[in-house]
Amino acid sequence: MADPALTLKDVRFRWPGRSSFGLSVPEFRLEPGASVLLLGESGSGKSTLLSLICGIVTADTGRVTVGGTDLSVLRAGARDRFRAERIGVIFQQFNLLPYASVSDNILLPLRFAPDRRKRATPDEAASLCRALGLPEGITAATAGRLSVGQQQRVAVARALIGQPPLIVADEPTSALDAATQDAFLGLLFDRIAATGSSLLMVSHDERLGARFDRVVHLSDIARTGRAAA
């Protein structure tokens, strides 16, 4: 049987130097090919949870596994390479390189991920931009000069390129108008259906829930606050 896309077991985390916020997740599991929408109030810890899942921060105790690999056994550099190979991440602040071209931004994770690079087709960056409704020829533009909504779509293309088995998205539609949001979600769900990737997406918008296999409220799976960790 295939490993789960993602598991958390008895995870506890506290931001260094901050006693007021802790996160504790007794158990969470995402099956291969499954999609979960994660809801929760602002400041409740959703982005912190995604950072733990992506290995950007490490749990104080407990285990986070992605595709069967325990992130805690990887040193920082290996964790970064593992993330580039296995996880397509859409950050809340996009994290684009402002002076680099759109194309270089989209191709960036492939530099550190040989298997993912092999899966990417030569025109994939351009075809993702097209599918996301970005203007023809935008791949040569400087990322920092784009509108916020365009930058968000570039961040989405960067997460999808090369078909990573897990997509983790932190409010990926917040800067998009309704039509673009719909096109984005259509593309995202077409891609995960075609590739068998799993999806964990954070949003404040409960209306998106109908598209997902499961809708989870952070408070259903985690305790947060001073006493949590």
Ligand X SMILES: Nc1ncnc2c1ncn2[C@@H]1O[C@H](COP(=O)(O)OP(=O)(O)OP(=O)(O)O)[C@@H](O)[C@H]1O
Residues 115 and 85: beta-carbon distance below 8 Å: yes
Question: Measured from the CB atom, is 49 or 107 closer to ligand X?
Answer: 49
> Which strands make up the sheet holding 198-202, listed edge to edge?
87-90, 166-170, 198-202, 35-39, 214-217
Question: Measured from the CB atom, is 91 or 212 closer to ligand X?
Answer: 91
| Strand 6-14 to 61-66 pairing | antiparallel
Q: Is 78 helix (H, G, I), strand (E, B) or coil?
A: helix
Q: Minimum distance between the CB of residue 49 and ligand X, rounded to whole angstroms?
A: 7
Q: Is 161 helix (H, G, I), strand (E, B) or coil?
A: coil
Is residue 56 a contact point for ligand X (CB under 6 A)? no
In the shown chain, the binding pattern of residues 12 to 41 toward ligand X, with x for contact by CB under 6 A and - for none, equals ---x--x--x------------------x-
Question: Measured from the CB atom, is 120 or 201 closer to ligand X?
Answer: 201
What is the spatial distance between Cα 147 and Cα 59, in angstroms, rounded to a whole number?
36
What is the spatial distance between Cα 120 and Cα 151, in angstroms, rounded to a whole number?
21
**Of the candidate residues 13, 22, 25, 46, the single one contacting ligand X (CB under 6 A):** 46
Q: Minimum distance between the CB of residue 111 and ligand X, rounded to whole angstroms?
A: 25
- How distant is the alpha carbon of residue 20 from its chain centre? 26
Kindly give, in sequence order, each residue whose CB lies less than 8 Å from that of residue 175, ignoring residues fewer than 6 positions away.
Answer: 148, 149, 151, 152
Q: Which range, of 44-52, 83-91, 124-132, 154-162, touches ligand X by CB under 6 A?
A: 44-52
Assigned token pair, 186: 């259509």
The residue with tokens 């673009």 is 180
Is residue 189 a contact point for ligand X (CB under 6 A)? no
Is residue 112 a contact point for ligand X (CB under 6 A)? no
Question: Measured from the CB atom, is 45 or 62 closer to ligand X?
Answer: 45
Please count the residues of this chain forming the interface with ligand X, following the rule CB under 6 A.
12
Is residue 207 a contact point for ligand X (CB under 6 A)? no
Is residue 45 a contact point for ligand X (CB under 6 A)? yes
Question: Measured from the CB atom, is 92 or 195 closer to ligand X?
Answer: 92
Is residue 58 a contact point for ligand X (CB under 6 A)? no
Nearest of 205, 174, 199 to residue 40 by alpha carbon: 205
**Of the candidate residues 7, 24, 48, 173, the single one contacting ligand X (CB under 6 A):** 48
Question: Which residues of this protein are in contact with ligand X, per CB under 6 A?
Answer: 15, 18, 21, 40, 42-48, 92
